[in-house]
Structure 1
Amino acid sequence: MKKNTLKFLCLLFSITAAAQQTKAKKEFTTAGKKITVYTTAENSNLRLTATDNLSFSASKQPLETEISVFVEPSKKFQTFMGIGGAITDASAEIFAKLSKEKQSEFLNAYYDKQKGIGYSLLRTTIQSSDFSSGSYSYIQEGDKDLKTFSIDHDRQFRIPLIKQAIQTAGGKLLTYVAPWSPNAFMKSNGNVLKGGTLLPEYYQTWANFYVKFIKEYQKEGIPIWGTSTQNEPMAVQTWESCIYTAEAERDFIKNFLGPTLKKEKLGDVKIIAWDHNRDLMNYRANVIYSDPEASKYVWGMGFHWYENWSGGDSMFDNVAKVNEAYPDKKLLFTEGCVEKFDAAKYQFWGNGERYGISMINDFNNGTAGWTDWNILLDQNGGPNHVGNFCFAPIHADTATGQLIYTPSYYYIGHFSKFIRLNAVRVSSAVSRSGLLSTSFLNTDGTMATIVMNKTDKEMTYNLIIAAEKTIVKIPAHAIQTLVY
């Protein structure tokens, strides 16, 4: 008996020691590593350009007169789930007008990890949004039993583009969906536009609608990872929109959407709550997550960046506060774009910086993934059937057939090209307010540290990890990714 006990203890010790050695091997180290610096900068030709190859050297206490970025790899936070954009009807319609050569260039620019910026997330719409050439539905009006349900509309432009994007991305894109409005007969205002609410007698019909859509897309070879309850549920828009109070969304998820997905063997489809701006996300989280029956169906919360419509600043702290209050729930940035299209501002640098500021803050506050709005629009910022013309990272001039890459494309690329799926965010901080920074440890052991200079002056900064450092120059109004 004693011999068996001794053998067991020895075996346990060996297993523990091996596990500790494996863990030690996986701990990040700067030993022998080189740093490749990629830079995009205003008033230069630098666009995701490799600008430096640096080495680490011994570091000591930095002075207050120095500018430093501090990375602590042992302090780990959320797991990265990807960056991407929305394939809307507008994007798909414009893509179809491009030459085969330009279509290939476009797909590679977004979805190829080597030739482009390696998008890994995809959002698309259930039925029409404002970024469609017109309103449309998958059923005939009044069909509460959904007998006429068909996604034939999407087979013309949208589904072919989604399939090509998935293929270019290597066969997989984490795809999630969102409705802009139920059909007019299901709503209090009898209109798919201008808000209104979902009538209680159609809650089950509408829940069944999600199921129909998800199953039809899956038949097309497009697996649906998740769905939000409603795009922008507190905004009465001139386009497709529908209002849900926090309590209404909670009850729809708890009593209809969650149970219906589960019953239809779609329980693994994630439900994303809110899908609106940062300003009211805390209230929505409090109401939905405090109800155990609703909360059990909800993966996490989606949010947008348009809260500055009121003239205020971006409410980045609200993201951190939701993350702090509900650490078991995930956060996903589900939409952002630069509004009010103006072709004279294609290369306006502030548009790119808006992306960089938001992405760094959102990731540092616990966001797992980040999704841009339209991946492609035309030279008018559309098509958009209510004239809500906006910017996209890439535009196509349908008159010339040329693609126009904006600063936003490159700023997004400094994240999406270098942070890989399942990377883990680690602690990253700066010593001066002119710089912003975030860092992710990839599964292959490489670190990607993004540093952004939003000032008018070139800066020299230290990158300090434990007792090692390197010294980097960053131009004015620039963003860098350091890979090491």
Structure 2
Amino acid sequence: MKVSKIFESSKDSEKRIATIPPDSRKAPDGKNLSCIINLDLEKQFQTVKGFGCAITESAGYVLSNLSSDGKMKIVESCFGQSESDNNYQFARTHINSCDFSLENWACVPQKDESLERFSFERTDLYITPVLKQALSFNKNLSTLATPWSPPDWMKTNNDMNHGGKLKPEYKKLWADYFVKFIKGMNERGIKVDGVSIQNEPEAVQTWDSCIWTGTEEAEFAVNFLKPAFVKNGLEQIKIFIWDHNRDNMLKRMKESFGVAGADKAIDGLAYHWYSGDQYDNVKECAALFPDKELFFTEGCIEGGTRPDKWYCGERYGHNIINDLNSGCTAWIDWNMALDIDGGPNHAGNNCDAPILVNTTTKKIVYQSSFYFIGHFSRFILPGSKRISCTMIPFMTPATVDGKMGNMMESTSFIRPDGKIVLVVMNRTEDDMVFELNCAEKNSKDKNGKMDYTVKVNSENSNRTFFCPPRSIQTYLLENS
């Protein structure tokens, strides 16, 4: 194997997914190793479907303030297929309003049990045009649709905000509401491939929210949503549960899949990052339910924007690497773009986004998080399979305890074209010097152990590389 290309982004330089000659990142003396990275093609894990972002009403509204060229530039940078674009395969959007909407709204705002007055007026104003533009760059784009709340008249608290629950008598009607939305989007040329039953079903929020237990979600999928899909020729639509944080995802998955018929009705679980680094829960879900999808569907830096802050990108890199290494099958960011204040958000819940737009000056700012996502999404193509990527740590003087910990991280995949992708991230203030070894299939020594002596680099003569301080790199490897 040889390293054919290296792509790099560094805090202390202007490099942003810049192509780096492999020779320039060799560490020829091999001294002061931070770690050894061993790749093993024999050990393969989940297949990844791709990466993506959310097209909310707020994101669409922000883009509407730009010229057609400015709007096109942003959409292409996310959904375009060239090496200079992020190659997103998924777009997540909302049924009815969410907090990143201009106000509360519903497709059927007034009580109408026939759903005859179902309207796409708000969806078509800012969301549909961006989805169509995204499709012009990626005709295979998959759209995921999620409700934050049913209309107020369907809920026990008569309010789209502050939690509440779906009234039991409206379960069938709510399933038909999903069908109406999906069919309407399909008529607009937008293919909806999946839905989740509820965004963050354990959270009572000051914005659009609705409470469901794991049993209630599963029973709704089994008895109402899946039958409605089958009846209307939409049986291919994937149904996801949870769509909330990692902390309770294992408990929730066990509860939901304990309901009779859930295994056939539910395709997977969606989750967010706001509770922290509970990656063991992701791993256990993947181990217990190996035939189900695990989609990461939302994460952002909360509390407003952080313009030009490198640590935002590093947080993304840390989360993506660990989610992928734990069994995640798709990774979807939150808002594609927001204004310079992190809005608009009708509840004042402003957040950061990978792309910020000054709607007055029309300046577009690509944040570190955009490039960190790109180090994965541009190179780990749909259909890629994760391979074993182990890091054997050595002394790291640049960490407070002299240990590598999570300050240096990596993940690796083999693509459908046979190329290997290795992503390495160094969050320390010193070079990460590592020896890179690759055991190919059937590469075993006389004792039956994997042989990692295959030398990896552009000239097959030196296998020690370095990742600069506060940097992320993507390596492409292929047969010599």
TM-score (structure 1 length as normaliser): 0.88
Which runs of structure 2 are paired with 1:381-400 in the superposition (5 Å)?
Answer: 381-400=342-361
Aligned partners of 1:390 and 1:175: how far apart in 2?
A: 23
- In 2, Cα distance between equivalents of 1:223 and 1:108: 19
1:7-30 alpha-carbon deviations (Å, 9 max, x no partner): xxxxxxxxxxxxxxxxxxxxxxx2
User: Which of residues 175, 195, 214 in structure 2 aligns to 1:227?
Assistant: 195
* Alpha-carbon distance between aligned partners in 2 of 1:55 and 1:94, rounded to the nearest angstrom: 41
Pairing partner for 1:82 from 50, 59, 67: 50
Contact 2:336 2:355 survives alignment (8 Å): yes
Q: 1:468 aligns with which of 455, 461, 465?
A: 455
1:220-369 to 2 correspondences below 5 Å: 220-308=188-276, 314-342=277-305, 345-369=306-330
Q: 1:65 to 1:383 in 2, by over 3 A?
A: closer
Match of 1:158 in 2: 127
**1:402-417 superposed matches below 5 A:** 402-417=363-378
What is the CA deviation profile of residues 308-341 of structure 1, one whole-angstrom value per residue up to 9, with x for unaligned ones? 4xxxxx2111100111111121100011111011
Is the contact made by 2:25 and 2:466 (CA closer than 8 Å) also made in structure 1? no
Q: Distance in 1 between matches of 2:33 and 2:137?
A: 47
* 1:459 matched to 2:432: yes
Q: If each structure's helix is expressed as a fraction of its own residues, which one has the higher value?
A: 1
User: 1:280 offset after TM fit, Å?
Assistant: 0.7
Q: Which has the higher contact order (CA 8 A, sep 6+)?
A: 2
Matched, 1:197 2:165: yes
The code of the aligned residue for 2:178 comes to: Y
User: 1:64-108: per-residue Cα shift (whole Å, max 9, x none)?
Assistant: 955211111121111110101000000101111111221222122
Q: Give the match's secondary structure for 2:22.
A: strand
Structure 2 letter corresponding to 1:468:
K
d(CA) in 1 for partners of 2:91, 2:410: 25
**Equivalences, count:** 442
Whether the 8 Å CA contact 1:224–1:269 is kept in 2: the answer is yes
Over alpha carbons, which structure has the higher Rg?
Answer: 1
Aligned to 2:413: 440
Deviates more, 1:393-402 or 1:95-104: 95-104
Tell me, in whole angstroms, the C-alpha distance in 1 between the residues paired with 2:109 and 2:423.
49
- Kindly tell me: are residues 168 and 65 of structure 1, through their superposed partners in 2, closer, same or farther at Cα, counting changes over 3 Å? closer
The answer for the alignment partner of 1:449 in structure 2 is 422
CA contact (8 A) 2:81 2:137 kept: no
Segment drifting more, 249-258 vs 159-168: 249-258
Q: Would you say 1:134 and 2:95 are equivalent positions?
A: no
Among 148, 166, 174, the residue aligned to 2:117: 148
Q: Which amino acid in structure 2 is aligned with residue 121 of structure 1? A: F
Query: What amino acid is aligned across from residue 357 of structure 1 in structure 2?
Result: H
CA RMSD of aligned residues (A): 1.8
Per mean C-alpha deviation after superposition, the further-off stretch among 38-47 and 298-307 is 38-47
Corresponding residue for 1:379? 340
Which structure 1 residue ranges, 4+ long, deviate > 3 Å from structure 2? 54-57, 62-66
- Kept in 1, the 8 Å contact 2:46–2:385? The answer is yes
Say if 2:3 and 2:475, in contact at 8 Å, map to a contact too: no
Equivalent position SS for 1:472: strand
Whole-Å Cα distance in 1 between the matches of residues 25 and 312 of structure 2? 34
- The whole-number CA distance in structure 1 between the counterparts of 2:344 and 2:417 is 41
Q: 2:474 aligns with which of 471, 474, 481?
A: 481
Q: CA deviation at 1:398?
A: 0.6
Residue by residue, what CA displacement relative to the aligned partner does 1:217-262 show, whole Å, maximum 9, x if unpaired? Answer: 0000011100000000000011000000112112111211121111
State the secondary structure of the residue aligned to 1:282.
helix
Alpha-carbon offset, residue 457 of structure 1: 1.4
**Aligned-pair identity (%):** 38
Are the aligned partners of 1:56 and 1:468 in contact in 2 as well (CA < 8 Å)? no
Residues in 1 aligned to 2:31 and 2:155: alpha-carbon distance in whole angstroms: 63
Question: What amino acid is aligned across from residue 415 of structure 1 in structure 2?
Answer: F
